[in-house]
Structure 1
Amino acid sequence: MAATAAAALAAGALVVAAAAPSTASSIAAAPSAGDPHADGTWTVTGPAHTDLSAELSVDSAGDLRLAVDRDGLPVLLPGRLGIRTDAHDLTTGLSFVSKRERTVHESYTMTTGKQLRQSVTMQEATFTFRGADGASLGVVVRVSHDGVAYRYQLGGSGQVTVESEASTFEVPTDAKAWVQPYQPSYETERTETTAGTANEAQPKTCTGDTCSFGYPTLFDVGGSYVLLTEADVDGRYSGSHLDHKDGSTSYSVALADDAPVTSTGPLSTPWRTAIVGSLDTLVGSTLVNDLAPPSKVKDTSWIRPGVDDWSWLSDGNSPGNFDRQKDFVDYAAAHGLEYTLVDAGWQESWVPELVRYARARGVNVLLWFDWNDLKTQAQRDAWLPKVKAWGVAGVKVDYMYSDSQSTFQWYDAILQDTAKLKLMIDFHGATIPRGLQRTWPQVMSVEAVRGEENGQNPTRDIFLAFTRNVVGSMDYTPTWFSRPGRQDTLARELALPVVFESGWTSLGDNPEGFAAQPLAEEYLEQLPTVWDETHLVSGSPEQQAAGDRQVVMARRSGDRWFVGGILAGASDTMKAPLGFLGKGTWLLQTVEDNGGSLQRSVRTVTSADALSVPAAANGGFAAIVCPAVKGRTDCDEPVVTAPSTSLVLDPSTTTAAPGAQITVDAQFTLPQGAALHGVRMTLDRDRLPAGWTATGRDVTAGSLSAGHVLGGDWTVTVGKDQPGGAVDVPVWVEYANPAGKNAPPVHVEQVVHVDIPLHGTVYASDLPFLSQTNGWGPVERDRSNGETGAQDGNPLTVDGTVYSKGLGANATSQVQVDIQGRCTRFDAKVGVDDEVAGKGSVTFIVQGDGKQLAATGVVVGGQAAVDLGADVTGVHTLTLSVGDGGDGNAFDHADWGQAVLTCAD
């Protein structure tokens, strides 16, 4: 049995040792089964060498309470437990039925986080109680070395509607507290206060004498720290927060929006979680992930954390500028950064070209989305495969701002979709992590923080190290060195991406700002974003004698330690004992402030030494520690970048009719430098439209020396049913990344742009837009304008008539399409969509090459569709415009129903 358990543990399996139902000898003052008036207390102790225990009790009224002790001293006072459904009140009148115990061992590997390899042991006890009406309630309690958690279990296979929980954490009123007023964005400021007076720190968002606070919430109870949060939340439930009545000890769990939760039984609720211990225990805790379900993604080889340069923070208009985004790609390529993140403003017309440009330089592109464009399955099915085909490595999704059950169901859906497509994801404008990154390892980071983009607050940053970042990756977006009016020093800004863990670390400055700080550049070139080990070296959220707060964090990657220290408040000396280092001699490479610039020093240390850094007000430092081996003078590893290569396609553009053949010739060269290895060239058949075929073989080379040419050729046949328009035929070359260390292959790609002449009947909604503007969200294809998201409209409907094809717009709107001079007639049924319930007034205009060809008068909501047609003979650029009817554009949802072109055969 022991050998079997050990093998399973080594394989990353869950191993449990179950005990028989408890007897009187294992229960203190055990009640008689089924007696609702008997008191009882059960103690669940942690695994060996831990100092935590939980005491579950039931009183004579049948009320459940849970308390937590550390070293035999109370940390959490007895707090109520229980749950109400629409069918049963399981908060009182409960009687004990049975108890089962087991030891839970888990071994698993993360793709992100403070400690990639986890081995955890938890003691678990499952208690069964019977309600006054005979309904059953399970309470599962787990105790580990770093905390206590419990959840409810409701049996049955039918629908379960949870109306509320009685779950309450009881904290002494004089306990020091660090609280955050609850908003579903989690972007409010944290405040240091006490448990009893926390409401005084709350802005005017309370209801009477009750205020709401967001997770995670930190308390100092007699020198033991308690961080309250929750774990394992998905679409079966909603998120929650804590409600507190002014002056009381009680922090009660409140479901999101105070709305019922409906699930299919049997139901296990999320874990109500208290991380408990010293500050070092809190900072190193993995309890939230330990409580989460195992990974749903078997193959994680495609998941690659890393550093990106992010243009939006320092240059808000840059995401809409192709040339400026290339500057950020060039910077990432030159400095060995894995990614460039393109935020709001990107255009479908040039992103594929930017992706090709970046990947040829060894940089992958991450793409921002408003969640309104990915809210429905239809929207995700339209967008996610498309950007994957472009070569985008991952997406950043923004503006969810909700803890509701429906939003968690959306998280479930998009996580399944991105895992299937092998797209990594970052959630911005999101809820806090609750173990999500263990279950869905493609989640690289989560915002849920008032970060760098929301202004600076050095004190807030200290609090975050002991609260928000404890429970999961935090997309803080640090290192805006050139920020106007910056409130911290350069060295402190440099330390932030070490103090704060994030699987994707989005650097906040622009190429010019980074170039002005070469020592910072050198440090960031070395920076990992995932860690083998994490330690709090020194510091506290509490104010020091000198009037400042500080934290020093050490994180290990391989054989190197990265140390970051930040200070908030008056200048002070920051001390970092180096006891976390192993035996032997080490090189300590430190970057610190020197007036208004940075300076670097290197010295030899051992684990018996301590680093001492004089820091200016709101200052800090960053360091790297590596083994001191003979001949080594610093801790830097070389930055290896992708060489410049050339892939030329002949032809690069061509025109071909349906059924025609195209011969594609490709030549790939490395002009200079060391030979490339593992080279493969192919025409990507998987990305050809349906009905297209290609013949020809892939070309490979074990190595390709500078000046040599790798050539390939293919014959492509256009599908016989291919409609008119433009199609890109991709040819790519991949070779082994010279950076090594399991870096992904470098991907060099070019396309043959094939124009298919328009012919026969062509719908405007099937043509690519040369340009589009719209008064509310994007112009929609084959659906109404809807709301602000793409593909979020309804069937095009005017005065009760539904049109299967067409465009949905909102005044003022303009769409331009290329009709190649091959069409003779444009016709449409135009009107105001029924989704605005008879409101709205618009005008429609058709232009050809800038000349007005046809127009309507004012068309109002509820009016029957108007026939609008024009002779477009010889026209190349067709422009379809919608005006606001002279009374503003509110409710001006305009439909171009059955917008069709008659073109040459």
Structure 2
Amino acid sequence: MKRQLVLVMLFSAISSIAFGQKAAFQSPNQKIVVELFNKQNNDIGEWYIKASYNNNGKITEAISGIDVGLSRSDQDFSKELKFLKAGKPVLINEEYTALHGKRAVCKNAANEVIFAFENPTKAKLNIIIRAYNDGIAFRYEFPDRQGSFVVKDELTAYSIPSQTTRWLEKWNPANEGLYTAMDTNKILSGEWGYPALFNTGNKDCWFLLHEADVDRNYCGTKLSNALDAGKYKLTFPDPKDGRGLGASTPAITLPWKSPWRVIIMGTLADIVASTLVNDVSAPSVIKNSSWIKPGIASWNYWSANHGTKDYKTVCDFADLAAQMNWPYTLLDWEWDAMGNGGKLEDAAKYIASKGIKPLIWYNSGGPHTYVSATPRDRMLTHENRVEEFTKLKKLGFAGVKVDFFESEKQDMIKYYLDILEDAAQFDMMVYFHGCIVPRGWERTYPNLMTHEAVRGAEWYNNTPDFTMPAPGHNATLPFTRNVVGPMDYTPVTFTNSQYPHVTSYGHELALSVLFESGIQHMADRPEGYYELPDAAKTFLKNVPNAWDDTRLLDGYPGKEVIMARRKGNDWYLGGINGEQREKTKTVKFDFLPDGVKYKLTLIADGKHDKAFATQYLVVDKSSALDVKLLRRGGFAASLMPI
């Protein structure tokens, strides 16, 4: 009651003095400030939200305006919206457990206010806004109880001051581009994918734009500043996506709520640690989740593009998983053409004999994709999936990788969720490839272990153009793509694929900690791991891939990143240099608990990029250590309590 009283008083005080302002409220920790304004300084007209950040008493206006509104097939809900009322603030205080991700126990706290509007026909629109401790989320609601319509356009648009630095990825259906860094002197226009990272001109506030809890009632969206370089408007999928199939505008039935529009906000460390995308998403629909087990998988595609056609290659990678204590191996495309000593059933038996679980690839297979690789259509319908999952379960398979979606239209969103629901009925984990960026589904369907949706190590197979940008790209992903959900980059390669990499061995080893994925596919060939020094090999045998806590220790997008992740009482560190110059970084261990000493195993760059330098030390909370990173270098470390 006291919190509600404070917020209501804040409404009254600020709205009486601010031009056009109708309401303002804060997050529970008072760091995030949300304000609602009318552009005409009236009760009727167009509306926008302003987002600010309080950094130790210094207020930074992060987003000067977020235009709100919708255009429906029957009428408009943007230009002449009449403000009816602001509901009483409600405290959201929630805790839930995640089976995989950056944190096992997730806590989120927010103040929620529902703002009620009506248009000239008295049709109702609610805007639900939450101020979280690490950001803002808002969504639209049509509360009327009946009616079916098409949403012609969503008017949500973020006005970003020109002095704001930004990192954005050009939109592409597979979400596999490189991030472009832009400042005041270089603001490009176009269509951009999620997530999008920004740093305010005074450097005091970082924020990341995304969306969450996209369900069958909507489509995925992207950002466009094509018409105004300073304003990023939400746009629906391009009609041509998915070979032109499916409607690009979503059909809805009332009552209806949109996905959440999410702004993660705070320090750069707050961005990296945030679970806000999952926090606002629907809770798990899977009651018994004991069969969902995160883990590391061996993967033959990177080193042997047609490897799954060869039974002996499949066996070699099963042996690799067994020797490295990894629970899974993935059979990628062409498994239906397997030869050279065995077929699929033989491979499944061999893999099981090693105490490993197999995973298996499928083409998503509809007319939405030109890709003809088989098996092509076995995930396409409910009947197909039930038949295939029944066979896979009998053969001992633990999960499926489904590829080539090529669209974020509403029909494709339904397809994703249908696969997840049917897979859960057969205790099947799922990995989406050539796909959408995470939208919080890992909370609702925890059998969704990972997404590709990243320019990862597979691109060493595709083009020479990835070799030189890769180090800076790797140092950008922990602040962008991997913030919003699991990312299967297929990391940790020491040998070369079709095209070489210039990252050091220390850099590659660090990716096992830096990059989070519910199933982490280690991409190198067996000898790439067998020939490692004992310390590095042992590290990869023991490194977890589902975490209890995540901390950013140091870093800046594209330049460097040092992260600490905890599993139980053990901590793991990964650090990489994204730049073309050597540097020395001081690692402070002040994140450790008081009064506990740890054995540190530090595996850093050696004299050259294919050498390691290993140290064994005892550290505690007061310790600090200088670590040398080669150009494009890195290090990994484990900390075990004594």
Fold in common (TM above 0.5): yes
Three-state SS of the structure 2 residue aligned to 1:325 is helix
Partner Cα separation in structure 1 for residue 20 and residue 556 of structure 2: 41
| 8 Å contact kept, 1:184–1:430 | yes
Partner Cα separation in structure 1 for residue 128 and residue 350 of structure 2: 53
Query: Are residues 1:44 and 2:25 paired?
Result: yes
Q: Which residue of 2 aligns with 1:699?
A: none
> What amino acid sits opposite 1:112 in the alignment?
H
Query: Are residues 1:550 and 2:560 paired?
Result: yes
Q: Which residue of 2 aligns with 1:655?
A: none
| 8 Å contact kept, 1:195–1:219 | no
| 8 Å contact kept, 2:504–2:605 | yes
Q: Which residue of 2 aligns with 1:296?
A: 285
Q: Which residue of 2 aligns with 1:530?
A: 546
Q: Which residue of 2 aligns with 1:625?
A: 639
Query: Are residues 1:219 and 2:202 paired?
Result: no
Task: For residues 17-51 of structure 1, give each alpha carbon's deviation from its aligned partner in whole angstroms, at most 9, with x where no partner exists.
Answer: 9979x9788445769xxxxxx9442112101x341
Partner Cα separation in structure 1 for residue 11 and residue 409 of structure 2: 40
Q: Which has the larger Rg?
A: 1
User: Displacement of 1:440 after TM fit?
Assistant: 0.3
Within the candidate set 484, 492, 510, 2:507 is matched to 492
Within the candidate set 456, 470, 474, 1:461 is matched to 474
Partner Cα separation in structure 2 for residue 134 and residue 426 of structure 1: 45
Q: Which residue of 1 aligns with 2:242?
A: none
Q: Which residue of 1 aligns with 2:36?
A: 56
Task: For residues 708-728 of structure 1, give each alpha carbon's deviation from its aligned partner in whole angstroms, at most 9, with x where no partner exists.
Answer: xxxxxxxxxxxxxxxxxxxxx
Q: Which residue of 2 aligns with 1:563?
A: 573
Consecutive unaligned residues in structure 2, runs of 5 or more: 240-247, 366-376, 461-466
Task: For residues 87-118 of structure 1, give each alpha carbon's deviation from its aligned partner in whole angstroms, at most 9, with x where no partner exists.
Answer: 12011111111221211121111111000111
Partner Cα separation in structure 2 for residue 585 and residue 244 of structure 1: 51
Q: Which residue of 1 aligns with 2:374?
A: none
Partner Cα separation in structure 2 for residue 216 and residue 417 of structure 1: 28
Where does 1:681-692 land on structure 2 (aligned, <5 Å)? Answer: none
> What amino acid sits opposite 2:75 in the alignment?
H
Q: Which residue of 2 aligns with 1:865?
A: none
Partner Cα separation in structure 2 for residue 580 and residue 23 of structure 1: 38
Q: Which has the higher helix share?
A: 2
Within the candidate set 378, 398, 405, 1:400 is matched to 405
Partner Cα separation in structure 1 for residue 64 and residue 13 of structure 2: 18
Q: Which residue of 1 aligns with 2:443?
A: 438
Where does 1:881-900 land on structure 2 (aligned, <5 Å)? Answer: none
Where does 1:414-429 land on structure 2 (aligned, <5 Å)? Answer: 414-429=419-434
Three-state SS of the structure 2 residue aligned to 1:257 is coil
| 8 Å contact kept, 1:235–1:411 | no
User: Displacement of 1:614 after TM fit?
Assistant: 1.1
Task: For residues 100-155 of structure 1, give each alpha carbon's deviation from its aligned partner in whole angstroms, at most 9, with x where no partner exists.
Answer: 12111211111110001112111100010011221111000001111001100012
Query: Are residues 1:586 and 2:598 paired?
Result: yes
Within the candidate set 364, 375, 383, 1:378 is matched to 383
Q: Which residue of 2 aligns with 1:355?
A: 348
Partner Cα separation in structure 2 for residue 28 and residue 613 of structure 1: 52
Q: How many residues in Structure 1 have an aligned counterpart in Structure 2?
A: 590
Partner Cα separation in structure 2 for residue 539 and residue 504 of structure 1: 25
| 8 Å contact kept, 1:462–1:567 | yes
Q: What's the TM-score, normalizing by structure 2?
A: 0.89
User: Displacement of 1:409 after TM fit?
Assistant: 0.5
| 8 Å contact kept, 1:197–1:246 | no
| 8 Å contact kept, 1:89–1:131 | yes
Partner Cα separation in structure 1 for residue 542 and residue 164 of structure 2: 41
Q: Which has the higher strand share?
A: 1
Q: Which residue of 2 aligns with 1:602?
A: 616
| 8 Å contact kept, 1:171–1:195 | no
Task: For residues 628-650 of structure 1, give each alpha carbon's deviation from its aligned partner in whole angstroms, at most 9, with x where no partner exists.
Answer: 2xxxxxxxxxxxxxxxxxxxxxx
| 8 Å contact kept, 1:437–1:443 | yes
Q: Which residue of 2 aligns with 1:278?
A: 267
Three-state SS of the structure 2 residue aligned to 1:124 is strand
Query: Are residues 1:325 and 2:309 paired?
Result: no
Alignment CA distance shift 1:28-1:162 (3 Å): farther
Alignment CA distance shift 1:65-1:298 (3 Å): same
Query: Are residues 1:476 and 2:469 paired?
Result: no
Q: What's the TM-score, normalizing by structure 1?
A: 0.63
| 8 Å contact kept, 1:196–1:248 | no
> What amino acid sits opposite 1:531 in the alignment?
W
Three-state SS of the structure 2 residue aligned to 1:297 is coil
Three-state SS of the structure 1 residue aligned to 2:475 is helix
Q: Which residue of 1 aligns with 2:243?
A: none
Task: For residues 591-623 of structure 1, give each alpha carbon's deviation from its aligned partner in whole angstroms, at most 9, with x where no partner exists.
Answer: 122233223221111111122211111000000
> What amino acid sits opposite 1:94 in the alignment?
L
User: Displacement of 1:377 after TM fit?
Assistant: 2.2
Q: Which residue of 2 aligns with 1:634?
A: none
Shifted more, 288-297 versus 320-329: the winner is 320-329
| 8 Å contact kept, 2:583–2:629 | yes
Consecutive unaligned residues in structure 1, runs of 5 or more: 1-15, 32-37, 200-209, 543-548, 629-905
Partner Cα separation in structure 1 for residue 185 and residue 129 of structure 2: 27
Partner Cα separation in structure 2 for residue 143 and residue 121 of structure 1: 8
Where does 1:33-112 land on structure 2 (aligned, <5 Å)? Answer: 39-47=20-28, 49-58=29-38, 59=40, 60=42, 62-71=45-54, 72-100=59-87, 101-112=89-100
Within the candidate set 517, 522, 525, 1:507 is matched to 522
Partner Cα separation in structure 1 for residue 14 and residue 570 of structure 2: 53
Where does 1:864-883 land on structure 2 (aligned, <5 Å)? Answer: none
Q: Which residue of 2 aligns with 1:176?
A: 165
Partner Cα separation in structure 1 for residue 22 and residue 184 of structure 2: 26
Task: Between the two structures, name the one with larger relative contact order (CA 8 Å, sep ≥ 6).
Answer: 2
Same amino acid, percent of matched pairs: 32
Partner Cα separation in structure 2 for residue 170 and residue 408 of structure 1: 28
User: Displacement of 1:362 after TM fit?
Assistant: 1.4
Partner Cα separation in structure 2 for residue 144 and residue 246 of structure 1: 31
Query: Are residues 1:190 and 2:183 paired?
Result: no
User: Displacement of 1:283 after TM fit?
Assistant: 0.3
Runs of 4+ in 1 over 6 A off after TM superposition: 16-20, 22-25
Partner Cα separation in structure 2 for residue 338 and residue 347 of structure 1: 23
Within the candidate set 85, 108, 123, 1:120 is matched to 108
Partner Cα separation in structure 2 for residue 118 and residue 103 of structure 1: 17
Partner Cα separation in structure 2 for residue 25 and residue 466 of structure 1: 33
| 8 Å contact kept, 1:30–1:41 | yes
Partner Cα separation in structure 2 for residue 17 and residue 230 of structure 1: 32
Q: Which residue of 2 aligns with 1:725?
A: none
> What amino acid sits opposite 1:153 in the alignment?
E
Partner Cα separation in structure 2 for residue 608 and residue 18 of structure 1: 38
Three-state SS of the structure 2 residue aligned to 1:438 is helix
Partner Cα separation in structure 1 for residue 10 and residue 582 of structure 2: 59
